[in-house]
Structure 1
Amino acid sequence: MHHRVARVVLPVDGREATVPLYLDGGAPAGVVITGRRSVDLRAGATVSFGSYFNAFPAAYWQRDTGARTVRLTVRAAGGGTLRVWRSDAAARATTVRTEGLGSEPLVLDLPLSGFDDGGAYWFDLTAGGGALRLDEADWSLPGDPPRRSTVSVGMTTFNRPVECLSQLRQLADDGELERVVRRIFVIDQGDDLVADQPGFAEVAARLGDRLHVLRQRNIGGSGGFSRAMSEALAEDEDAYVVLLDDDAVSEPESLLRAVAYADNARGPLLVGGGMLHLDDPGVLYTQSEQWDKRIGWVCLDRDDAYDHDFARAPFRDAPAFHQLQRSDFNGWWMCLIPLPLLRDHGLSWPLFIKGDDVEFGRRAAAAGVPTVSVPGIAVWHLGWRGKAPTRSWEAYYLHRNRLIGELLHAAPRRPLGIMVHSLLGDLKPLLGLQYGAVRLRALAISDVLAGPDVLPGYLDSRLSEVRALRARFPDGAVVEPQPGLPPAPEVSGGAVALLRAVVRQFLLPVSVAARRAPQAQMSAERAGWPVFSVLDSALVQTADGEAVNWFRRSRRASWRGLARSLRLHAVLWLRWPALARAFRSAARVLTSDESWRDVFAGRPRP
């Protein structure tokens, strides 16, 4: 008796760009994908399933479950050869089994041992003198599953009804999900409603009483996801809630694998999905994100941790996906959370957006529930290219919530590394004429200094205030483009350029001509401090390319921004231990289901 934990699958939509995620190197000559689980090979053709979605991540299963063997079952028609490969943490692969294929299912039991540092299993097929058809293949573990759990899916949406409906349609299309997904909670916080979209009635009818669409005012991602968590707790019939972004595109198999992994794990886990670029679907933005506790920020300098292109560097040749990776948190584009964890340790902090998933992952780890992000579990989501959140109104939430997370989880003593990183985070945009972004970061620190009790009230009010404040600054005000302007010069960084930028921003007067008209134009990617070491003003495209801002140097704004930053950081440094105690004392109340129920109902807590 075995129970299946992963199916070998092929692209849902047939997009050629996604094929390297399912077949090593894509579909070679003589190989045709004929269905969700089937492939035809002409005589002599070979295809490898050593890919992101179809290799079996043996090292993770060995570490987190009690299984000692895994079974590969292959059902095929025609003659050919199957080769099973095993890799190590360096992605070095060796053949461990070679078997002939015929009309009977081929069943192979493989050991789950020796994968202490990493490694995976996969198989290749080679057709013999005639055609070979793979009908289906899967990976299974011995015995009955420790649990046969069901899940609630929680989605929050704000004026993305088309994307949200597409996500619901995918959940309805995969019949296997029906046995696992008991309820789907859609928290609609916008005024362009998913229920008003053409085709919604048909999808809703297919999902039946599993679908629950709930309307509430916009209280951010933390408010929407917390509502889904709260509803799942109230039903109290499922083992997990799976959070999905409304604009994500699911690989339905990922949901099944996440539940199977959690069910077979020795202890409770957060099971996170990787994020593939929706606009570049063969590229994995990230998997297994880590937090740098020294500076209180995401670790961005890990080899192959971001933007891995499987068309250029296949899974078989990418050690990062064979090694066991530490995960400190997982984005809520897809994350499975055990309901007992929510019941015992609370829902999201009331942070509106940005950093709520990071804080929750760190809180779960402190409670003995680690995060694991397993290769082969992922969704497609619009990446951060074209968003530049540190330069938009989101800069306020990023900085405020990052500091709150450190007050909750860093050592309560004054953290020098975090303070230095935060201060440098003000100086860099100051030198780049981003005075609005620096002002928002100052507001973020001021709100942290106000303590935790103001956060629930800010869910309703702070967004409009933040946007209004940013619009008062040149880097936040939209102007008309001027196509005839010359492009900005190419300027490299370095110590000399940095010194030149500091002298220019704080000491040299602004030229009269630069006050009257922009000197150049550039994309958002180029609008860093090096180029403004030689310019006083320029038109800068917004990150999404849909508007233009006129960046203008101001010595007064530079000095005011610097003085405000130094003063606020000094106060934060002095008050850090007391603030840490205050936020930690408030955590149980502010993350409780009861507190969130008051927020949903619009009842302010005393």
Structure 2
Amino acid sequence: MLLFELSFPILVDESKLYFDGIGTSYNNSLNIKGGTSCSLCSYFNSFSAGKYRKYTLAQNITFNIKIQGFAEIFIKRENGNIITSRLIENSKPEALSITFSIIDAKDGEIFYPEISAKSDCQIFGGSYETKVSSQRDILLGASFCTYKREKYIISNMERLRDFGLKYSIPLKVFVVDNGSTLPETLSDNTITIIHNPNCGGSGGFARGLLEGVNFGCSHIIFLDDDISLDTNVILKTYSLLKILKPEYYDSFIGGAMLHSEIPYLQHECGALWDGFYLSPIGHEVDLRKKESVIANEKLQKADYQAWWYCCFPTSFGEKFGYPMPYFIKSDDVEYGIRCQKPIITMNGIAVWHDGFDGKYAGHFEYYIKRNELINTALHNKNTGIITNIRKLFASTARLTLLQRYFLAELVVKAYDDFMEGPEKLLSIDIAEYNTYLSSLAKPANDKSIIGNAKIISKPKIVNSALYYPSFGGNIFPSKNICIELPLTDIEIRKTFRARYIAHTKADGSTAFVTKLKKRKLFWVVGKTIRMFFKFLTKYKKVRADYIHNQEKLTSKQYWQNYFSK
């Protein structure tokens, strides 16, 4: 059975993600100069021996390679010890197979091939295979949720269509189009376009899961529409599902996120949730380095898997329910925590994804805070009153110091809506409510308000001992300056005594300009204090209501009713 094929740089030009040594890649082949060695101890081409031993029925693996030239091919452990080797010499491309055992592989250990070229050699491809007597029948579904991103989604559709033609793998692709802009004529035997109301990622993925269940898929992969996808990842996922040990049938298979802008840099490989805060695993790891590739297989157990690439059995819908109707943000967190099932990650199962700085929108502040509150209410064993109150004050204070008063109000509204209990979620039309929230988060971009203020593109960071006791300098008269700050990842101490702030996008253009309004600042503080008392007195009852109504909010019936409107 084919597990996966060797990959060479196609989607990104980062050779060390694929091989290490003096070699050049061209047209899905690899040229190695005589007298040099080329190692496949890389992120995409090494073999996750420890994880295949732990999670699957595989015991012996066959490495296949098609090569021309005189070379010795080694299979090595991650410490460099040789497991086995073969010598080959030919004047034309010839297939060679080497079989090795993974029975003694340690947890998280990788094995890898290394080619020692005695003459100039050329590799025309390769693969890993195994023979397993017991294999499951898998009908794999893949669900994209998209909204007016034709450039990305059509490219991914074409890759999957080509993938279906190349491999005899039962695959059905559902493209849930929340914008209803993709022609339904793009549908074929492999791909189905589904026009859906704009109910966000939560509703889009819920629809994808429903369609997968109705089609008879055994498993579904949730994928973001704006990823760059090497379809070898789909092959690797499918073959893994086929040979899983029975005790791991009910597992997630998670794909890491690599940065599109910096293709060798890993953003996340699974993530943790401590009941209040999220933290990525394997954050900012340089996967060009051998030591990073080895360490990446030994990362800690994840609590949830983000939905840029997340595969799981469709039976989870019946066992654990469907996504919460959050619209966007933290629906993947909540689902992973709710299911409480193992998350299998592995080198080579990954997608490239744009960073999040360019995707920021003001109303995200509402969704982040409201959905965090619901997640904590449902899944944190402690009540969470003190931490949630602290987060309320921290969020509104930060946004007011950034002069984003309208967003501070949205945070208070998130708390207010949460305090209305699950009936609020059950009663609203999430698409219409998103339109309403978006309208509250659109400040005027009037640069003329800064007048003759001095523009400072690189403001200095003020000492904390001065900044925080003076509430960002707001107890002093403001200076007639306009500082430029990014929309995200902000060092807030740069705002000291600034009268204006130009909030800039990732490309450097101005998103909007704000002006210091001390009366508005104190008004937001007042609303925050009132919410503090409301939260303190009513939180326990509201939390109990969410727990009691969780099954109703995540039911198949809820989403069927919504989609039938």
Distance 1:319 1:178, change over 3 A: closer
Q: Could you tell me which of 489, 506, 518 is aligned with 1:555? A: 518
CA deviation after TM superposition for structure 1 residue 291, in Å: 1.6
Instruction: Pick one of 177, 183, 191 that aligns with 1:195.
Output: 183
Superposed, 1:323-342 pairs within 5 Å as 323-342=298-317
Establish whether residue 499 from structure 1 lines up as the match of residue 468 from structure 2.
yes
2:462, 2:182 → 1: CA distance? 47
- 1:257 matched to 2:236: yes
Measure the CA separation in 1 of the matches of 2:451 and 2:266.
Answer: 35
Report the Cα offset of residue 363 of structure 1: 1.0
User: CA contact under 8 A between 1:76 and 1:134: conserved in structure 2?
Assistant: yes
Alpha-carbon distance between aligned partners in 2 of 1:591 and 1:339, rounded to the nearest angstrom: 15
CA contact 2:176–2:207 (8 Å) conserved in 1: yes
Counterpart among 351, 363, 373 of residue 326 in structure 2:
351
What's the CA shift for 1:546? 4.0
- The equivalent of 2:8 in structure 1 is 10
Relative distance call for 1:342 and 1:522 in structure 2 (3 A) is closer
String of CA shifts for 1:215-244, please: whole Å, max 9, x gaps: 1221111111111111111122x2101111
Match for residue 404 of structure 2 among 427, 434, 438: 434
Change (3 A) 1:234 1:396: same
> In the alignment, which of 55, 72, 97 is matched to residue 84 of structure 2?
97
CA distance in 2, matches of 1:187, 1:454: 26
Give 3-state SS (helix, strand or coil) of 2:358's partner: coil
* 1:525-581 CA distance string (max 9 Å, x none): 685421122323232223454434223222222222223223324433433332222
Is residue 508 of structure 1 aligned with residue 476 of structure 2? Answer: yes
Q: Equivalents in 2 of 1:415, 1:433: separation in Å?
A: 27
Measure the CA separation in 2 of the matches of 1:227 and 1:568: 35
| Pair 1:83–1:176, CA change in 2 (3 A) | farther
Equivalent residue for 1:234, pick from 195, 209, 214: 214
Moved more, 219-228 or 263-272: 263-272
Paired residue total: 555
1:220 and 1:353 in contact (8 A); partners too: yes
Question: What residue number does 1:289 align with?
Answer: 271
Say whether 1:462 aligns with 2:430.
no
Q: Report the residue type matching 2:132 in the other structure.
A: G
1:114 deviates by 4.6
Within-5 A mapping of 1:125-144: 125-128=115-118, 130-144=119-133
Match of 1:417 among 383, 387, 403: 387
Distance 1:405 1:526 in 2: 24
Secondary structure of the residue that 2:345 maps to in structure 1?
strand
TM-score, normalised on structure 2?
0.90
Deviation at 1:122, TM superposition (A): 1.2
Alignment of structure 1 residues 31-46 onto 2, 5 Å: 31-36=23-28, 38-46=29-37
- Equivalent residues of 2:49, 2:105 under 8 A apart: no
Give the Cα–Cα distance (whole angstroms) in 2 for the partners of residues 483 and 523 of structure 1: 21
Letter matched to residue 182 of structure 2: V
Matching residue within 43, 55, 62 for 2:46: 55
- Counterpart pick for 2:350 among 378, 385, 390: 378
After TM superposition, give the deviation of residue 175 of structure 1 in Å.
4.4
Corresponding position of 2:336: 361
1:82-117 superposed Cα distances (whole Å, 9 cap, x missing partner): 222322xxxx5444334323456232213243523x
The structural deviation recorded for 1:441 is 1.0
1:520 and 1:537 in contact (8 A); partners too: yes
Q: TM-score, normalised by structure 1?
A: 0.85
**CA shift digits 1:271-319 (9 cap, x unpaired):** 11111222332322221222233xx12115x6xx2233334xx144455
Q: Partner of 2:140 in structure 1? A: 151
State which of 455, 459, 466 in structure 2 corresponds to 1:486: 455
Alignment partners' CA distance in 2, 1:246 and 1:525 = 22
Q: Match of 1:433, as an amino acid?
A: Q
Q: What amino acid is the match of 1:326?
A: K
Distance verdict in 2 for CA 1:559–1:328, change over 3 Å: same
Which residue of the partner structure matches residue 169 of structure 1? 158
**Letter of the structure 2 residue corresponding to residue 466 of structure 1:** L
Q: Secondary structure at the match of 2:514?
A: strand
1:180 aligns with 2:169: yes
CA distance 1:430–1:137, change in 2 (3 Å): same
In 1, the alpha carbon distance for the partners of 2:151 and 2:468 equals 49
Provide closer, same or farther for how the CA distance between residues 70 and 104 of structure 1 changes in structure 2, counting only shifts above 3 A: closer
Rounded to whole Å, the distance in 2 between the matches of 1:58 and 1:575 is 52
Instruction: State the Cα distance separating 1:33 from its structure 2 match.
Output: 2.3
Which one of 419, 424, 427 corresponds to residue 449 of structure 1?
Answer: 419
Q: What is the aligned partner in structure 2 of residue 564 from structure 1?
A: 527
Q: How far apart are the structure 1 equivalents of 2:311 and 2:158?
A: 20
Gaps of 5+ in 1: none
Inter-partner Cα distance in structure 2 for 1:137 and 1:532: 56
Q: CA RMSD in A?
A: 2.7
Structure 1 residue 60: deviation in Å?
A: 2.3
User: Residues 11, 533 of structure 1: CA spacing in aligned structure 2 closer, same or farther, 3 A cutoff?
Assistant: same
Cα distance in 2 for partners of 1:398, 1:281 equals: 27
- Which SS does the other structure have where 1:217 is aligned? coil
2:109–2:297: 8 Å Cα contact kept in structure 1? yes
Query: Does 2:497 match 1:534?
Result: yes
Give the superposition deviation at 1:250.
Answer: 0.8
Q: CA deviation at 1:321?
A: 0.9
Of 351, 361, 367, the residue aligned with 1:397 is 367
Q: Match of 2:284?
A: 307
